[in-house]
């Protein structure tokens, strides 16, 4: 009977979720408002630039409607962060300041 080394299984290394700012970029046609119509696409770019400027390991994701259309543009910090309303591109630095003060992502 020969003795051969058995292959050692490799297990995936669990990783923490990357802190992500989910921004609604839904654009609704017609008279009803939407986050994109209120400037959320520029907000995505402004948040990404501010995160890069500060060297944070956060991401920005463009997302579909979050069902809070009347108070958009909306930003949801995840995991476990607040849902912010009425966010504008010009508020990007203040949004990041607030999240740093109030949110503890992994
Ligand atoms: S359009 Fe942004 S939450 Fe609905």
Domain ranges of the chain: 38-101
**54-92 confidence digits (pLDDT tens):** 999 999 999 999 999 999 999 999 999 999 999 999 999
Judge whether residue 36 has pLDDT over 80: yes
Judge whether residue 32 has pLDDT over 80: no
For residue 13, how many C-alpha atoms fall within 13 Å in the half-sphere facing its CB?
1
Backbone angles phi, psi at 23, to 5 degrees: -115, 125
Name the residue among 64, 61, 67, 71 with its Cα closest to residue 38: 71
Q: Give 25 or 106, the one with higher predicted confidence.
A: 25
Q: Span 21-48, mean pLDDT?
A: 94
Judge whether residue 30 has pLDDT over 80: no
**Average pLDDT for the chain:** 93
**Residue ID of nearest Cα to ligand 1 atom 1:** 34
Q: Give 15 or 54, the one with higher predicted confidence.
A: 54
Judge whether residue 2 has pLDDT over 70: no
Name the residue among 71, 73, 61 with its Cα closest to residue 36: 73
Q: Which residues line ligand 1 (CB under 6 A)?
A: 24, 26, 34-35, 65-69, 72, 74
**Residue to probe by mutation, ligand 1, list 31, 38, 61, 65, most atoms within 8 Å of CB:** 65
Judge whether residue 43 has pLDDT over 90: yes
Split at pLDDT 50, 70, 90, the class of 1 is: low
């Amino acid at each position: 009977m020969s003795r051969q080394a058995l292959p050692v299984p490799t297990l995936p290394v669990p990783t923490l979720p990357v802190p992500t700012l989910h921004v609604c970029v839904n654009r609704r046609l017609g008279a009803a408002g939407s986050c994109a119509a209120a400037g959320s696409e520029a907000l995505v770019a402004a948040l990404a630039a501010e995160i890069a400027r500060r060297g944070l390991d956060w991401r920005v994701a463009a997302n579909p409607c979050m069902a809070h259309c009347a108070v958009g543009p909306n930003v949801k910090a995840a995991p476990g962060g607040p849902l912010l309303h009425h966010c504008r591109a010009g508020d990007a630095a203040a949004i990041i300041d607030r999240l740093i003060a109030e949110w503890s992502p992994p």
